[in-house]
Structure 1
Amino acid sequence: MSPKRPIKPGAPTATPDTPFAIPDASPPFLHRLPLNIPPHGTDSTPIAQPRTPGQSSPDHPAPLEIIELPADTHITPVIAHAPIEHFFLPPSQLSRLPPPDALSGFRKLGTQRHFVDLQEGGTVLLGIDPENHYRAKLHSDFRPSGPRVERVEGTLFWRVKPTDESPGGSDSRLTIKRVREAHDDSAEVIDPKRTSTSTSSDGTDPWKQWQASPQQPSLETIEIDGTRFLLLPRGTEPDHPIVYIKNPEHRVYDFDYMERILDTDLMQQPRGAIRIPPANQWEVDPNPPFQHPLKQYITTYFPQMSKTSTNKVARHQFFLANDGEMATGVGLTRLRQTFNDWKSGNSAPRPTLADPLLMLPILPTSSTIAGLVRTLDLPDTSPEGPLQRLDFDQTSREWDYFKTTQSGFDLKWLMAEILNRQGYDVFPPAPSTAFPALVFRRKNHSFVFFISLHRVRGRTIHQRLYSGPDADDARLNTQVGYSALQEILQAHAEKRLVCLKGGSQILASQPDSIFIVREDESQLGTLASL
């Protein structure tokens, strides 16, 4: 019922991410364990059940009773947690993590997730509990549910923190004894450090607790196993077969709210549901729609895009998918399909959702007197405002070399390397150094890109126009090569050609950047005569 999902990384992935309250979210669902899993670091022997009157078997010890509790005793509930092995990342996710930081041992994935390697083996995601201690956590945890961990001094490894080293003696200090019955000659004192108030769980998925209350507004709902669930608005395709149930405490999902949920508790995101024949009963997809924040998908498949550009692309993609600012069932399905197409390399049914270059608006240009020079003013790189340009983080080696030569040929190779890393197929750069340009494609859609490259000082691109293609240096055959020329001729005839400008921009007030913007196709109006 759902598209094949791309991976995640595990978190992906994942930092000590201090939980914060979502204003209109329901109380957090705590990850709990089956009753037969003992707390980490404690005796694994199961606690025997109290016997009923008349039973004399030694296999049924006497019931427990709390006695002689001092008036000033401070009781702190402690939630039992699973063994540390329960929190290990699968091996398939480890290759996506960066190496450990030389000071802290953190393997940072973005700004919101930190992972650490354990001394005894395994890698876990970190979280911070209410007492500001590091704990292992699952991606689905609202608050970390694993054992406390600490760094091993002098190494980059971490370890499970021994329970008897918990500062301040935060565990409950209760005196618990077994009350002796008349036929029981034994009395046992239980270790106070193992005594606490604990919670357990039946393993129920969080969405099963999303029952709509009778006071809930009469929005669209579906019923699953006798429980009524609220639905996200279906969007522009009301007959779409996939619908999404939502937490009734969540009002609407704009981009920022959706990102916050995906970053703090993946299990609280809306869940897909579909009718299953022959009875046509509703069934919820066992897999959450997304395994990472939406921005992380952009980072995974366009790895050299700047942080500002990544944020703007993710926000614009969300808007395009949902035909507006708020999430809809159709919009979430479109995003899932797009991410799956990125992973599998399938043809994208909506190329503008799948390619950031196709999301760029066409920027206006102006001509000087006599029409000899055309100018284009570059948008600024501010984090605010709409998506108008893409910027890319350049590697120091390539960028330093280009700065020493400022060669048009080296500029072509620099841009070609960046585009290749983003998943584009670039025609080999032609040897010409005048009027540098490239032609490239992406395998999951039919559009062809022509980009003219410029070395810009300031904010304006100045491009001299020619009355025709007769000047040798202006001929596209010289600029891009014969095979690339044939590609753009056909794409232009079939209205599949996208014209771009890009290159290096140097500003006194900002870091140097490698940019791409989109323009119209008027500069290629003479293609048919070539």
Structure 2
Amino acid sequence: MSPKRPIKPGASNTSPDTPFNLPDVGPPALHRLPLNIAPQGEGRIPVDHLRTPVQSPPSHHAPLEIVDLPAETHITSVVVHAPIEHFFLAPNQLSRLPAPNALSGIRELGTQKHFVDLQEGGTVLLGIDSENHFRARLNSDSRPSGPRLERVEGTLTWRVKPSDESVGGSDSRLTLKRLRNPDDGPQEVVAPKRSSTSTGDGWSDPWKKWDSPPQQSSIDGIEVDGTRFLLLPRGTDPDHPIVYIKNPEHRVYDFDYMERILGTDLMQQPRGAIRVPPANQWEVDPNLPFQYPLKQYIATYFPLLSDTSLNKVARHQFGLANDGDMATDVGLTRLRQTFNDWKRGNSTPHPPLADPLLMLPTLATSISGSGLSRTLELPTLTPEGSLQRLDFDLTRQEWDYFKTTHSGADLKRLMASILNRQGYDVFTPTPSHYSPALVFRRKNHSFVFFISLHRVSKGRTIHQPLNSGPDAADARLNTQVGYPALQEMLQAHAENRLVWLKGGSQVHNSQSDSIFIVRDNDSRLGTLANL
């Protein structure tokens, strides 16, 4: 089961009636590099903020100064914490955790480490502070440094405990601001303000510091609350309503750079912005466009893809969405919508972006010398190159069993199990051993897939006999896939929605054996064309 989506950092200040935010996406948890803060426990105050995905050693901290405090001012300590997502576990750690306790919801890893799942997504390490309150903590904490946590009554999930904002006896609070160093420019005068408190905007909203340098002010950009921001390229649709502001220190975002940012510091990714009526001013979406690296989205919904296939699918999807190698406004919005469609099971407006099988190129086949069969050469299984095939990882137990049988029915059952685990609906396989094949579909688009199954034990060539008689095609397909599947095929073929695939097992001499799927032009074989 995929983890739930993480808590959305920040809060929107737009009207509930404003059609502003894109639906958020992201089942698994997000993670971040440690923020640049001094480890001084609960009373620490941020004095420097993160600007780039790469951490640098702390520079000289500007002094804190308190001046002109009226004698009657009521001072109370304000505890400042990093946002809860700062404490989320990395996705690759989640699979090693035990199941939650049936009463407390706590995942106990030995006697020293305890973890909890949060109500709105994410998993954190749990600690107990000096006052016996539960708090989120980091592995490096000598004592818990995160916000207080509490279990949601009647569930196995936890949440951040609301803080007590009451001051008692006075409505005045003290705001501490950082005085600039002499080389930072004019200094700020610090004075008490009523009904205000120290906040962690530098943690949750680093984009507020992404003002464009003066020498780049003439470049295409937008202004939000008096700050000028640089934008990503618009893409193929110049009228696209959503733009993305970027850190001016980031030049361009190709797939590799985007993945590096999403894998190290999510807060440094481009942020969406849109005009908000009635004033039609620009506002930045407080929600993160992506909650974790792009490859992790694919791994969540297509969990058996091999690492090689996963990398190629993610890179190919990025290129399709952006109509090229570089991120654009249109491309990032397409990706966000695709991931949201996966999460909610919505019908997708861009099926080739949402289904790896539709991303596969159609491989050419050729007629063998005797003229009685057609052959297809499987692409070489290598990490380099474009997406040509999909390969799937099996458990050792599954693969060991599969190698002991040569039954066509077993081959169908194995492939049906793999497809089911990738979210496809497979028509019930027939008991026939002859020419094993399956028909299946996916609920978020209208395409129907027919896959013929093969064992490739020598080389990489698949031989497919040509049809011997058009009048027998109906009977053969009915035997292969069953009557309900055949009717689905006929309807899809008539509407040009039928996709032809080949798959099965391939035994390699110098590599691990694999289960593969490729796309071909099997429709020219005459099966359905001659019905």
Cα 1:119–1:221 shift into 2, 3 Å: closer
Q: Deviations 1:248-300 (Å, cap 9, x if unpaired)?
A: 11100000000000111111101000111111000100001000000000001
8 Å CA contact 2:26–2:290 kept in 1: the answer is no
**Which shifted more, 203-212 or 269-278?**
203-212
Q: Distance in 2 between matches of 1:86 and 1:510?
A: 40
Q: Distance in 2 between matches of 1:330 and 1:53?
A: 52
What's the counterpart of residue 489 of structure 1?
A: 490
Cα 1:126–1:394 shift into 2, 3 Å: farther
8 Å CA contact 2:80–2:200 kept in 1: the answer is no
Q: Does 1:403 align with 2:408?
A: no
Cα 1:115–1:443 shift into 2, 3 Å: closer
What's the counterpart of residue 5 of structure 1?
A: 24
Partner AA of 1:38 in structure 2: G
Cα 1:464–1:529 shift into 2, 3 Å: closer
8 Å CA contact 1:407–1:433 kept in 2: the answer is yes
8 Å CA contact 1:426–1:438 kept in 2: the answer is yes
Q: Distance in 1 between matches of 2:505 and 2:408?
A: 11
8 Å CA contact 1:115–1:125 kept in 2: the answer is no
Partner AA of 1:98 in structure 2: R
Q: Distance in 2 between matches of 1:353 and 1:341?
A: 11
Q: CA deviation at 1:39?
A: 4.1
Q: Distance in 2 between matches of 1:258 and 1:342?
A: 21
User: Aligned to 1:304, what secondary structure does the other structure show?
Assistant: coil
Q: How does 1:17-416 map to 2 (within 5 A)?
A: 30=36, 38-39=43-44, 82=81, 89=88, 97-99=95-97, 117-118=125-126, 120=128, 134=140, 202-204=200-202, 205-216=205-216, 218-416=218-416
Partner AA of 1:454 in structure 2: H
Q: Distance in 1 between matches of 2:135 and 2:386?
A: 39
Cα 1:280–1:390 shift into 2, 3 Å: same
Q: CA deviation at 1:6?
A: 2.4
User: Aligned to 1:289, what secondary structure does the other structure show?
Assistant: coil
Cα 1:381–1:7 shift into 2, 3 Å: same
Cα 1:251–1:231 shift into 2, 3 Å: same
What's the counterpart of residue 456 of structure 2?
A: 456
Cα 1:31–1:365 shift into 2, 3 Å: farther
8 Å CA contact 1:115–1:124 kept in 2: the answer is no
User: Aligned to 1:398, what secondary structure does the other structure show?
Assistant: helix
Cα 1:240–1:480 shift into 2, 3 Å: same
8 Å CA contact 1:87–1:124 kept in 2: the answer is no
8 Å CA contact 2:125–2:137 kept in 1: the answer is no
What's the counterpart of residue 77 of structure 1?
A: none
Q: Distance in 2 between matches of 1:85 and 1:334?
A: 28
8 Å CA contact 1:352–1:358 kept in 2: the answer is yes
Q: Deviations 1:350-393 (Å, cap 9, x if unpaired)?
A: 00000000000011111112321211111122111100000111
Partner AA of 2:494 in structure 1: A
Q: CA deviation at 1:320?
A: 0.2
Q: Over the residues paired in the alignment, what is the CA RMSD in angstroms?
A: 3.9
Which consecutive residues of structure 1, in runs of 5 or more, have no partner in the other structure?
20-28, 41-48, 61-79, 108-113, 128-133, 139-144, 148-199
Q: Distance in 2 between matches of 1:367 and 1:123?
A: 68
What's the counterpart of residue 521 of structure 2?
A: 520
Cα 1:405–1:53 shift into 2, 3 Å: closer
User: Aligned to 1:278, what secondary structure does the other structure show?
Assistant: coil
Q: CA deviation at 1:339?
A: 0.2
8 Å CA contact 1:360–1:518 kept in 2: the answer is yes
TM-score normalised over the length of structure 2:
0.70
User: Aligned to 2:384, what secondary structure does the other structure show?
Assistant: coil
Q: Deviations 1:418-445 (Å, cap 9, x if unpaired)?
A: 0000000000001110100000000000
Partner AA of 2:97 in structure 1: P
Q: Distance in 2 between matches of 1:284 and 1:455?
A: 54
Q: Distance in 1 between matches of 2:201 and 2:413?
A: 54
Partner AA of 1:330 in structure 2: V
What's the counterpart of residue 154 of structure 2?
A: none
Partner AA of 1:396 in structure 2: R
Partner AA of 1:453 in structure 2: L
Q: CA deviation at 1:468?
A: 2.1
Q: Does 1:479 align with 2:477?
A: no
User: Aligned to 1:370, what secondary structure does the other structure show?
Assistant: coil
Partner AA of 2:354 in structure 1: A
User: Aligned to 1:369, what secondary structure does the other structure show?
Assistant: coil
Q: Distance in 1 between matches of 2:263 and 2:253?
A: 14
Q: CA deviation at 1:227?
A: 1.0
8 Å CA contact 2:254–2:326 kept in 1: the answer is yes
User: Aligned to 2:282, what secondary structure does the other structure show?
Assistant: strand
Q: CA deviation at 1:467?
A: 2.6
Q: Distance in 2 between matches of 1:83 and 1:301?
A: 30
* Structure number with bigger Rg: 1
Q: Deviations 1:485-504 (Å, cap 9, x if unpaired)?
A: 11111111110000000000
Q: Distance in 1 between matches of 2:357 and 2:497?
A: 13
Q: Deviations 1:207-239 (Å, cap 9, x if unpaired)?
A: 110101111163211111111111101100000
Q: CA deviation at 1:521?
A: 3.5
Q: Distance in 2 between matches of 1:317 and 1:53?
A: 58
Q: Distance in 2 between matches of 1:281 and 1:493?
A: 49
Q: Distance in 2 between matches of 1:213 and 1:446?
A: 49
8 Å CA contact 1:434–1:473 kept in 2: the answer is no
The alignment covers a number of residue pairs equal to 415
User: Aligned to 2:454, what secondary structure does the other structure show?
Assistant: strand
Partner AA of 1:521 in structure 2: D
Partner AA of 1:510 in structure 2: Q
Cα 1:52–1:392 shift into 2, 3 Å: closer
Q: Deviations 1:95-138 (Å, cap 9, x if unpaired)?
A: 96432799x9899xxxxxx98845659796868xxxxxx469x9
Cα 1:311–1:412 shift into 2, 3 Å: same
Q: CA deviation at 1:398?
A: 2.6
8 Å CA contact 2:341–2:348 kept in 1: the answer is yes
Q: Distance in 2 between matches of 1:261 and 1:31?
A: 20
Q: CA deviation at 1:461?
A: 1.0
Q: Distance in 1 between matches of 2:499 and 2:26?
A: 30
Q: CA deviation at 1:523?
A: 4.3
Q: Distance in 2 between matches of 1:451 and 1:354?
A: 19
Q: Distance in 2 between matches of 1:461 and 1:473?
A: 23
Partner AA of 1:343 in structure 2: K
Partner AA of 2:278 in structure 1: P
What's the counterpart of residue 48 of structure 2?
A: none
Which consecutive residues of structure 2, in runs of 5 or more, have no partner in the other structure?
1-19, 46-64, 99-108, 116-121, 148-197
- Percent of residue pairs identical: 65
TM-score normalised over the length of structure 1:
0.70
